[in-house]
Amino acid sequence: MADVSVRPATAGDASEIARIQIDTWRTAYGDILPEAVLAGLSLAAAEASWTEAITAPPTSRHRVLVAMEQQWRVGFVAFGPADEFEPDDEDTDTTVAVGPVLVEPRWGRRGHGSRLLAATVDLARQDGMTRAVAWIPEGDTPTREFLLSTGWAPDGVVRALDTGAGELREIRLHTSLVEPAA
């Protein structure tokens, strides 16, 4: 049986998280993100962003978790209180934004994404969160299918991001974090 776990990220994880993000985006998002965006990804800039997210989060409810298999970091997730809402959104004070949930493709299909998502839900519930949202690229079928298989659903909200090299359309998925009554 594989030695697998999820743990809070530390500053020492930032460079590997940045590498996983860039490698995964270049592999999995080649048909989704404009080529200029993928080519312009900077390991140093990503590492600096992840170091800040880990060491100086905006609140104690902003977190980065790392998936491990034996001694290797194989994926990560970032989450924290949501700050983008539609006028008719409910539970704005108790909504957590999840994303990205990335597992390096060579470590895929081993349950790492599920463990990352489960740990995220557990911690968000501990923080009193009742709803989770995730923005994903419209063309990211694997992530959409993964989230749908765990009980998430599209809520009909779509946004367009200017990447500087074209538009990226994203859809918002959501799920309730309220545990069913026993």
pLDDT in tens, 112-155: 999 999 999 999 999 999 999 999 999 999 999 999 999 999 99
Long-range contacts of 45-52 (CB under 8 A, 24+ apart): 46/17, 46/18, 46/21, 46/22, 47/14, 47/15, 47/17, 47/18, 49/18, 50/9, 50/13, 50/14, 50/17, 50/18, 50/21, 51/11, 51/14
Task: Identify whether 44 is part of a domain.
Answer: no
82 belongs to a structural domain: yes
Domain annotation covers residue 83: yes
Who contacts 124 (Cβ-Cβ below 8 Å, separation ≥6)?
Answer: 61, 79, 96, 98, 132, 177
Query: Is residue 131 one of the residues assigned to a domain?
Result: yes
Of 55, 67, 45, nearest to 120 (Cα)? Answer: 67
Burial class (CB in 10 A: 0-12, 13-18, 19+), 35: exposed
Residue 110: predicted pLDDT: 82
pLDDT for res 179: 84
Backbone angles phi, psi at 138, to 5 degrees: -55, -35
Per-residue pLDDT averaged across 85-113, rounded?
Answer: 92
Domain count of the fold of the chain? 1
Percent of the chain clearing pLDDT 70 (strictly above): 98
Q: Which domain holds residue 136?
A: 4-9+61-176
pLDDT reading at 164 higher than 60: yes
- Residue 58 above 90 pLDDT? yes
What angle separates helix 43-55 from helix 14-28, to the nearest 10 degrees? 130
Domain annotation covers residue 91: yes
φ/ψ of residue 157, rounded to 5: -90, 135
- The string of pLDDT tens digits covering residues 5-50 is 999 999 999 999 999 999 999 988 888 988 888 999 999 999 999 9
Q: What is the pLDDT of residue 2?
A: 66
Two tokens at 149? 């298989």
Percent of the chain with pLDDT over 90: 81
Is position 88 within any domain?
yes
> Which has more confidence, 100 or 53?
53
For residue 89, being part of any structural domain is answered with yes
pTM, to two decimals: 0.94
Whether 64 has a pLDDT exceeding 70, the answer reads yes
Q: What is the pLDDT of residue 108?
A: 78
Exposed e or buried b per residue across 119-145, where buried means at least 16 C-beta atoms within 10 angstroms of its C-beta:
bbbebbeebebbbbbbbbbeebeebbe
Q: Is residue 37 part of a domain?
A: no
We report the CATH number of the domain holding residue 146 as: 3.40.630.30
